[in-house]
């Protein structure tokens, strides 16, 4: 196999030793299906926490799994990249679909995900009334998403980062575009909703992280596309969040911001915790330029009845200037997108 030829003998033996044990192979199979905690894994496998933790440590030492902290919890998942993981995935693909142990693990994982989903849905239901009220104030999400897909295009990207991921909708919308996706949110309740939605959609190439949008728990210059969807108006310092998002971009990577144009609906401050009442084209252009980005496109989407207290949604698309010819100064194209 080509994957095997990319590994030296010592590395190949290390991977086989680590994965070639029944419990660890079961763990690998489970972690290939998404993010799980030690508690999740002990529940599914019926083994003690110290034993599971020891097995996870061995898998991490040979770079087969990733570990990341979310408050007091640690999540694990199978790595996305590398010849080592490729070899293990090939091993998993060779497993019999009728294997009783793996089938039982998969059934228990399904039960666990169902419980997650029910808990997330309960939270969503408790808060849906407020979101529905706000949604009626602006252009439909369907129209926003259609324009967003048009502006981003259909050229595949290696990695996508969605900041303030909320329900994980952006990770679902662009599921066919990216090879690796990460959604970050500060609300653990919303993270539960996002994980549930990704589970239900069968998306395993995206993961969800708890994090601060001003101080992301990720390496910089690692993402080709970063999105910030309806988040900045909640922030007292949106400029700082844009700068942090720009830090995440690879040279030439793109940042897409979806938010409200300036408006005068003061009640949104008290009723929906909006810190900012929309953003002008000039303010956004200044912040993007200060963050080292070149604004390429701007689109305004105005719903019917925009003069009657309705909100206009604006989409800004900018690119890391390190890939722009210094002799050229692209002029942003502003499109009117009234619906």
Residue with the two structure tokens 């002008």? 280
Band of residue 80 on the pLDDT scale cut at 50, 70, 90: confident
Residue 327 pLDDT: 43
SS3 assignment, position 193:
helix
Report the pLDDT averaged over residues 267-278: 80
Give helix then strand counts, H and E, for the chain.
Answer: 13, 11
Tokens of 106: 């998969």
Max Cα separation, the chain?
A: 70
Weakest-pLDDT range from 85-89, 101-105, 124-128: 124-128
Average pLDDT, the chain: 85
Tokens of 236: 């007292």
Contacting residues for 15 by C-beta, under 8 A, at least 6 apart: 7, 62, 64, 84, 87, 88
Residue with the two structure tokens 């110290």? 50
Stronger pLDDT, 297 or 336, i.e. the higher one: 297
Burial class (CB in 10 A: 0-12, 13-18, 19+), 191: buried
Tokens of 43: 């529940």
Stronger pLDDT, 272 or 259, i.e. the higher one: 259
Distance CA 33, CA 24 (A): 15
Distance CA 82, CA 60 (A): 13
Q: Which helix (H) or strand (E) holds 314?
A: strand 313-320
Stronger pLDDT, 69 or 266, i.e. the higher one: 266
Distance CA 316, CA 279 (A): 11
Provide the β-strand partners of residue 77: 66
pLDDT one-digit tens code per residue, 187-222: 888 888 899 899 999 999 999 999 999 999 999 999
Residue 177 has pLDDT above 60, yes or no: yes
Beta strands in the chain (DSSP E): 36-37, 65-70, 73-78, 157-163, 178-185, 206-210, 223-229, 249-260, 293-301, 313-320, 333-336
Residue 70 has pLDDT above 60, yes or no: no
Residue 3 has pLDDT above 50, yes or no: no
Distance CA 67, CA 38 (A): 11
Q: Are 116 and 196 in contact (CB under 8 A)?
A: yes
Band of residue 241 on the pLDDT scale cut at 50, 70, 90: very high
pTM to 2 decimal places: 0.69
The one-character DSSP state at 157 is: E
73-78 and 65-70 as β-strands: parallel, antiparallel, unpaired?
antiparallel
Query: Can you state the angle between helices 22-31 and 49-61, rounded to 10 degrees?
Result: 80
Residue 9 pLDDT: 87
The one-character DSSP state at 215 is: B
Tell me the CA distances in angstroms from 323 to 31, 179, 318, 332, one per residue in order: 36, 22, 12, 16
Distance CA 79, CA 60 (A): 10
- Total residue count of the chain as it appears in this document: 339
Q: How many CA atoms lie within 13 A of 31 on its CB side?
A: 29
């Amino acid at each position: 196999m080509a994957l095997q030829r990319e590994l030296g003998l010592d590395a190949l033996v290390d991977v086989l030793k680590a994965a070639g044990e029944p419990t660890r192979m079961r763990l690998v199979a489970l972690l290939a299906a998404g993010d799980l905690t030690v508690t999740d894994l002990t529940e599914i496998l019926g083994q003690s926490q110290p034993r599971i933790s020891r097995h996870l440590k061995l898998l991490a030492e040979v770079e087969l799994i990733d570990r990341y902290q979310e408050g007091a919890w640690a999540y694990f998942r199978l790595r996305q990249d590398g010849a080592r993981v490729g070899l293990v995935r090939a091993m998993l693909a060779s497993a019999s679909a009728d294997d009783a142990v793996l089938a039982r693990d998969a059934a228990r994982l399904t039960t666990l995900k169902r419980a997650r989903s029910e808990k997330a849905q309960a939270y969503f239901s408790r808060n849906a009334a407020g979101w529905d009220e706000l949604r009626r104030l602006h252009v439909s999400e369907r129209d926003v998403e259609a324009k967003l897909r048009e502006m981003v295009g259909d050229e595949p990207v290696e990695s996508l980062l969605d900041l303030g991921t909320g329900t994980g909708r952006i990770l679902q919308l662009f599921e066919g575009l990216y090879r690796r996706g990460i959604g970050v949110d500060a609300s653990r309740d919303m993270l539960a909703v996002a994980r549930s939605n990704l589970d239900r959609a069968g998306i395993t190439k995206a993961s969800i992280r708890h994090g601060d949008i001003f101080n992301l728990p990720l390496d910089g210059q690692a993402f080709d596309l970063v999105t910030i969807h309806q988040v900045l108006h909640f922030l007292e310092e949106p400029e700082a969040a844009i700068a942090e998002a720009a830090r995440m971009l690879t040279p030439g990577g793109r940042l897409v911001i979806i938010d409200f144009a300036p408006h005068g609906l003061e009640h949104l401050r008290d009723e929906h915790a909006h810190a900012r009442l929309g953003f002008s084209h000039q303010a956004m252009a200044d912040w993007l330029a200060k963050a080292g980005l070149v604004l390429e496109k701007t689109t305004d989407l105005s719903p019917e009845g925009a003069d009657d207290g309705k909100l206009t949604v604006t989409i800004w698309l900018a690119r890391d200037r390190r890939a722009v010819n210094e002799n050229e100064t692209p002029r942003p194209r502003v499109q009117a997108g009234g619906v």
